[in-house]
Amino acid sequence: MRAEDGRPRIILGVSGGIAAYKACELLRRLTESGASVRVIPTASALRFVGTATWSALSGQPVSADVFDDAHEVPHVRLGQQADLVLVAPATADLLARAATGRADDLLTATLLTARCPVLIAPAMHTEMWEHPATRENVAVLRRRGVIVLDPDSGRLTGADTGPGRLPEPAAIHAAALRLLARGAAPADLIGRRIVVSAGGTREPLDPVRFLGNHSTGRQGWALAATALARGAEVVLVAANVELPEPAGVKVIRVGTAVELGAAVHEAAADADVVVMAAAVADFRPLEPAPAKIKKTDAEPDPIVLTRNPDVLAELCASRRPGQVIVGFAAETGDAAGGVLEHGRAKLGRKRCDLLVVNEVGPGKAFGTPENAAVILGLDGSVTEVPIGPKEALADVIWDLARARLS
């Protein structure tokens, strides 16, 4: 339910961990993006950041007690009226209470009454995150449709490092905006494991130079973020991408086509859907120079190329029953045919379930926030997606892939 001025209503729950201070930046980002934010800290959270701070940053009253303003029934009304409930950080204790349906403070009561999307960003020590009890609590919440982000790996309190670090506020904010954009749409990829490749591979010519392409990875990033918002477990194989990692997504960094192929094949072994959005080099230098190729008065020696493995074709040939494979075709028209003709020929060769065909060129596809495409199905279907945000194209791709899942 939107606020009277049309702004989305967000409940920001904060539980009692040292990462509570990062929620202040998250709160600032949410309010600056136009949301009306009500903060509900737990009693323990108030030991780290006080009520005055939350009230000043949000411009809203702050309470952790179900008996405050009891005549307004806050433990029911807040959840009923919210467009999004976001908990960051969420401790192991908070996850346990949410998974078992406890309602012993205002935040857990709000979680029980919420009928909007719920996003939880855990933060705790590695041993607590990896404990079977915590893992089971996370699994229970995810089965119910709650989006629980995996924590980052890095420096924790003291000298400890490992998985359990709260994702950066900017990444949590981006995930929250994706959920708000989906509104009341169901998390229809819960329990599905997704693999997405993104970016452009680079094939070394010498220690300084490489053969590459213009892909920035934006479309693959949009695919990963939208799949996460729909409840999927996402692995993102990223080739030379310089974008902030999406919160809750496992990112595997690669450089060359051979490295990307190995990573994708390993990740795809138990995946429900594999989307090859990366621009993978078709060729690589047969023998990269061991030292920098110097410029002299003589003409340079020709560079002998050899074929790279066809990762998409290999995936299609080895797919297991029920697995859906989605390919991308960045095409230009030429004397041999138009963009769609080349796309249909590629679909016939690769035999993927879906092929996303887009025309590339100056200001088109690569490096832009928008994209347009025609999605060809192996079953003969044709879906045209007009120019729009890359997230919109990503959602259409997931709609079509989901319809093909057994």
Nearest to 15 by CA among 40, 37, 36: 40
Q: What tens digit of pLDDT does each residue of 200-232 get? A: 999 999 999 999 998 999 999 999 999 999 999
Average pLDDT of the residues in 52-65: 89
Average pLDDT of the residues in 318-332: 93
Q: What tens digit of pLDDT does each residue of 142-153 get? A: 999 999 999 998
What is the percentage of the chain residues whose pLDDT exceeds 70?
95
Residues 169, 207 share a domain: no
What one-character DSSP code corresponds to residue 380? Answer: S
**What's the confidence (pLDDT) of residue 75?**
55
Cis peptide bond upstream of 89, omega within 30 = yes
Residue 73 has pLDDT above 50, yes or no: no
CATH number for 42: 3.40.50.1950
CATH number for 264: 3.40.50.10300
- In the block, tokens 């791709």 appear at 397
Q: What tens digit of pLDDT does each residue of 247-289 get? A: 999 999 999 999 999 999 999 999 999 999 999 999 999 999 9
Residues 320, 283 share a domain: yes
Average pLDDT of the residues in 8-18: 94
Residues 197, 70 share a domain: no
**What's the confidence (pLDDT) of residue 364?**
66
Average pLDDT of the residues in 151-179: 90
Residues 260, 164 share a domain: no
- Cα separation, 223 vs 371, in Å, equals 12
- Give the HSE-up count for residue 161: Cα atoms under 13 Å, Cβ half-sphere: 3
Q: What backbone phi and psi angles, to 5 degrees, belong to 387? A: -60, 135
Indicate the pLDDT class of residue 154, thresholds 50, 70 and 90.
confident
Indicate the pLDDT class of residue 365, thresholds 50, 70 and 90.
low
**What's the confidence (pLDDT) of residue 356?**
97
H or E element, residue 22: helix 22-32
User: What is the CA 406 to chain-centroid distance, rounded?
Assistant: 23
For residue 3, being part of any structural domain is answered with: no
H or E element, residue 15: none
**Domain tally, the chain:** 2
- Is 213 a residue of the active site? yes
- Cα separation, 134 vs 120, in Å, equals 13
**What's the confidence (pLDDT) of residue 212?**
93
Residues 359, 306 share a domain: yes
- Cα separation, 198 vs 279, in Å, equals 7
Q: What backbone phi and psi angles, to 5 degrees, belong to 194? A: -120, 140
Residue 119 has pLDDT above 60, yes or no: yes
**What's the confidence (pLDDT) of residue 71?**
45
Residues 197, 113 share a domain: no
**What's the confidence (pLDDT) of residue 211?**
94
Choose from 69-83, 311-325, 326-340 the range with maximum mean pLDDT: 311-325
Interior angle at CA 367, CA 363 and CA 373, nearest 5: 70
H or E element, residue 225: helix 218-229
For residue 49, being part of any structural domain is answered with: yes
H or E element, residue 180: helix 169-182
Indicate the pLDDT class of residue 2, thresholds 50, 70 and 90.
low
Residues 328, 370 share a domain: yes
Give the residue numbers spanning the domain of 364.
Answer: 193-404
Interhelix angle 92-99/106-113, nearest 10 degrees: 40
The per-residue pLDDT of the chain, averaged, comes to 92
Q: Which of 213, 240, 308, 371 is catalytic?
A: 213
pTM for the full predicted model: 0.88
- In the block, tokens 């693959």 appear at 220
For residue 364, being part of any structural domain is answered with: yes
For residue 187, being part of any structural domain is answered with: no
Residues 199, 169 share a domain: no
**What's the confidence (pLDDT) of residue 157?**
78
- In the block, tokens 């690769």 appear at 350
Residues 217, 318 share a domain: yes
Interhelix angle 311-318/339-350, nearest 10 degrees: 40
**What's the confidence (pLDDT) of residue 122?**
97
3-state percent helix, strand, coil for the chain, nearest multiple of 5: 35, 25, 40
Residue 186 has pLDDT above 90, yes or no: no
Residues 103, 217 share a domain: no
Q: Which of 62-71, 94-103, 139-148, 389-398 has the lowest mean pLDDT?
A: 62-71
Residues 6+ apart with CB under 8 A from 403: none
